[in-house]
Amino acid sequence: MSAFPISGPLSLGDLLDRSFRLYRARFALFVGTAALFLVPLALVSGLLTGTFMTSYIDALGALSQSVEPPSEAMLIGLFDGALNSGVMLLLLSLVSVAVNGIVSLALTSQCIDALHGRRQPMGQSIALGWRRLWTFVRMSILEGLAAGAATLAVGLVLLVLFLLFIAAAGIFGLSLDSLDSPAGAVAAVGAVIVLICGYFLGIVLVIAPAVYLAARWIISVPVLVDGEWRAREALRRSWGLTEGNVWRSVGYSVLLFLVGALVISMPVAVFQAILTVLVPSGSQWVVATATTAFSSLFSVLWLPFNTGALVLLYYDLRVRKESYDLELRIDQMAAGLEDETPNAGGMGIAGAGEG
């Protein structure tokens, strides 16, 4: 593979093809890095999920078989068990955020070095992931708050419009009594159609801000790793690079989602369906445990590919916005000239001037 395989703007298909090539070129390093963290996390997650499901099913069985009302001690025991399981799952979620952050940062660093013809040791990339973890967390929090605020604002506007529509319907006399007349029936049908269309339009409008922000910040992690950016600076740089390429970023995200569905969602769904048939009805916790672990293990294969695909998109946007490929070629030419200078018989610029 060449040191830098992006020689100009690429189509989405070319980006996906280069992502597969990059994935195959450093498969052992990428998957090994992901497995080092995600496999233990998958095992712990599966065990905790299985324990929680077992306790929940046993509690339901005890309550259903008891002919007398549950005692206070039994209810307290059930509450304590649910509380302990909830706390453990919450802690596991926090650990998962940290682990996935370190893995994503480490894989991004490895992909960047691979595209430039360098081979980064696993330990060095993991150290970088640990060092930049808190910045990554802050950046993720900012993204989440912005998406949540935008979604809430749109939701409130739609709620106000809905209330105004209901009020207008009341003002114009649209009620159950008006259904007896043909005009009232037609008006009621029209109102129902408007509500149904408004419902689906509202869903689109509610998710639109989050989709738009995700497209503008899709390359925030490669930006964060490629330079010593702080959280806000990385988001601003990603915003600038994706300007004018929002629909392209959305299309690329959809493409990666479809690939991920084929790689993870479909095999996990088939695995879960087979287990549901084979495992007895009283042992459904086994299905939950195995499915959770199986899904997490598949992430070991998917996360490196997805990371490489986003890194390639980052450099493709740099090529489009900053002519990065031209800048790289100039640097390579300058480095080549510097290497050739000592081979000129010891006569540099000064020697040529003396002649």
What confidence tens digit (pLDDT) does each residue in 168-200 have?
766 555 554 555 556 656 666 776 787 788 888
For residue 231, give both structure tokens. 């959280």
Angle at 196 between CA 193 and CA 201, to 5 degrees: 120
Sign of CA dihedral 303, 308, 314, 316: negative
Residues of the chain with pLDDT under 50: 1-4, 176, 344-355
Residue 65's contacts (CB-CB under 8 Å, 6 or more residues apart) are none
Look up tokens 């992909």; give the residue.
Answer: 111
- pLDDT at position 38 is 87
Q: How far apart are CA 94 and CA 107, in angstroms?
A: 20
Residue 342 token pair: 């000592």
Choose among 37, 45, 29: nearest CA to 295. 45
Spatial distance between the Cα atoms of 206 and 217, rounded to a whole number of angstroms: 18
- Which residue type sits at 136? F
What's the pLDDT tens digit per position in 291-312? 776 777 778 888 999 999 999 9
Residue 169 has a pLDDT of: 63
Interhelix angle 72-115/284-322, nearest 10 degrees? 30
Cα 295–chain centre separation: 15
In SS3 terms, the chain reads as CCCCCCCCCCCHHHHHHHHHHHHHHCHHHHHHHHHHHHHHHHHHHHHHHHHHHHHHHHHHHHHHHCCCCCCHHHHHHHHHHHHHHHHHHHHHHHHHHHHHHHHHHHHHHHHHHHHCCCCCCHHHHHHHHHHCHHHHHHHHHHHHHHHHHHHHHHHHHHHHHHHHHHHHHHHCCCCCHHHHCHHHHHHHHHHHHHHHHHHHHHHHHHHHHHHHHHHHCCCHHHHHHHCCCCHHHHHHHHHHHCCCCHHHHHHHHHHHHHHHHHHHHHHHHHHHHHHHHHCCHHHHHHHHHHHHHHHHHHHHHHHHHHHHHHHHHHHHHHHHHHCHHHHHHHHHHHHHHHHHHHHCCCCCHHHHHHC
- pTM equals 0.76
Single-letter amino acid, residue 94:
L
